[in-house]
């Protein structure tokens, strides 16, 4: 196989969260934690670097592989841009109760304040309980003065925009966009490699020690975009055995790929490809190697793997590259 690289799977990094639930356990993600809120599928964040779980590289870290294989893993242009840093953080998220209302800074603010990337992200809803929703933006255009008045009066929820959701809904969360995942939502998240979040409202809840979580009111006020266009919900096709574009931004490209039978892929993008199985089961085949993907699993196809096939009786994948 070219450059000895192959489709890679990683041990999930599970995060116990105050708002997390039990749905991720159905995807064989077991934890001693009480409520699994997040499964970090591919991560290169410090102290949370993914470890390979399949094949001859099992036990090696994503960081080690990038340092060894460079552009063969990331793609030449990506390696020139990001060096030994993997540019995306890939997650599954289960919200049993609502997440905090939050936003993320842009690249410039994140660099200045945290020496980090900004956090542009997208969501694909895998399952939603009856009447489940997401918070995205405000109900109507407001300014900082109106925002702060409602925030200080603990009336922020009154001016937020609530979107009822169901399986297959997709949303693009630009930096500066106020948002929150609501109770009863299970989703896939694709984002820049960053864990910088400004929490502005947390429903006045406390942890098991009676402590409130930290809010970032002062940091957030300069990061909120109060003039955000209404472009957060993404509409896309669902043609079978075709990569149907959902999001195309400077940080990542994501497509919806429903498979029934076989799809032949030829990588001409000079990029790695990520496949998140959001429904069903599939297999990625390179020469004589087969890598199985069940619902809730993720695989990384290195950039140097130019030709491969994906098989499934019936499956839905998210296909991501940079």
Residues in the chain with pLDDT < 50? Answer: 1-2
pLDDT of residue 267: 95
Quote the tokens at residue 308. Answer: 């491969």
Q: Enumerate residues 6+ apart whose C-beta is below 8 A from 311.
A: 259, 261, 262, 282, 283, 285
Entry pTM: 0.96
CA-to-CA distance for 161 and 139, rounded, in angstroms? 4
Last residue of a domain, one of 234, 269, 294: 234
74: CATH:
2.60.120.10
CB 138 within 8 A of CB 171: no
Quote the tokens at residue 136. Answer: 């995205």
Which tens digits make up the pLDDT trace of 45-92? 999 999 999 999 999 999 999 999 999 999 999 999 999 999 999 999
Quote the tokens at residue 102. Answer: 């939050």
* Residues 218 and 248 grouped into a single domain: no
pLDDT of residue 196: 94
157 in a structural domain = yes
* Residues 196 and 224 grouped into a single domain: yes
Give the C-alpha distances (Å, rounded to integers) separating 58 from 5, 9, 55, 75, 155.
Answer: 12, 9, 6, 21, 50
**How many domains are contained in the chain?**
2
239 in a structural domain = no
* Element housing 186 (H / E): strand 185-192
pLDDT of residue 3: 54
* Residues 132 and 267 grouped into a single domain: no
Which tens digits make up the pLDDT trace of 135-149? 999 999 999 999 999
* Element housing 54 (H / E): none
Output phi, psi for 166, to 5 deg.
-145, 170
pLDDT of residue 239: 98
What are the b/e assignments for 267-279, b being 16+ CB within 10 Å? Answer: beeebbbbbbbbb
Q: How many CA atoms lie within 13 A of 238 on its CB side?
A: 9
pLDDT of residue 1: 38
pLDDT of residue 209: 81
* Residues 253 and 187 grouped into a single domain: no
The burial of 161, by beta-carbon neighbours within 10 Å (0-12 exposed, 13-18 middle, 19 or more buried), is given as middle
Q: Residue 122's domain spans which residues?
A: 2-234
């Amino acid at each position: 196989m070219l450059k000895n690289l192959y489709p890679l799977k990683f041990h999930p990094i599970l995060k116990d969260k105050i708002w997390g639930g039990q749905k991720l356990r159905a995807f064989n993600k077991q934890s001693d934690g009480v409520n699994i809120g997040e499964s970090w599928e591919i991560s290169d964040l410090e102290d949370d670097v993914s470890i390979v779980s399949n094949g001859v590289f099992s036990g090696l870290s994503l960081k080690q592989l990038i340092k060894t294989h460079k552009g063969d893993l990331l793609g030449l242009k990506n390696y020139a841009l990001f060096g030994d840093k993997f540019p995306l953080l890939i997650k599954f998220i289960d919200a049993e109760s609502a997440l905090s209302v939050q936003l993320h800074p842009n690249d410039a603010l994140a660099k200045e304040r945290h020496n980090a990337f900004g956090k542009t992200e997208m969501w694909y809803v895998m399952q939603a309980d009856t009447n489940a929703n997401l918070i995205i933006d405000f109900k109507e255009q407001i300014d900082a003065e109106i925002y702060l008045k409602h925030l200080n009066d603990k009336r922020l929820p009154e001016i937020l925009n609530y979107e009822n959701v169901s399986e297959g809904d997709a949303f693009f969360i630009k930096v500066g966009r106020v948002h929150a995942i609501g109770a009863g939502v299970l989703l896939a998240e694709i984002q820049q490699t960053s864990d910088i979040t400004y929490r502005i409202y947390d429903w006045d809840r406390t942890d098991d020690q009676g402590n409130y979580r930290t809010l970032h009111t002062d940091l957030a006020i300069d990061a909120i975009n109060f003039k955000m266009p209404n472009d957060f919900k993404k509409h896309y096709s669902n043609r079978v055995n075709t990569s149907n574009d959902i999001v195309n931004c400077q940080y990542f490209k994501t497509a919806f790929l429903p498979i029934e039978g076989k799809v032949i892929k030829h990588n001409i993008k000079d990029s790695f490809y990520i496949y998140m199985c959001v429904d069903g089961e599939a297999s990625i085949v390179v020469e004589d190697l087969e890598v199985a993907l069940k619902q809730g699993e993720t695989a990384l196809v290195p950039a140097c793997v130019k030709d491969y096939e994906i098989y499934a009786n019936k499956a839905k994948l998210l296909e991501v590259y940079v």
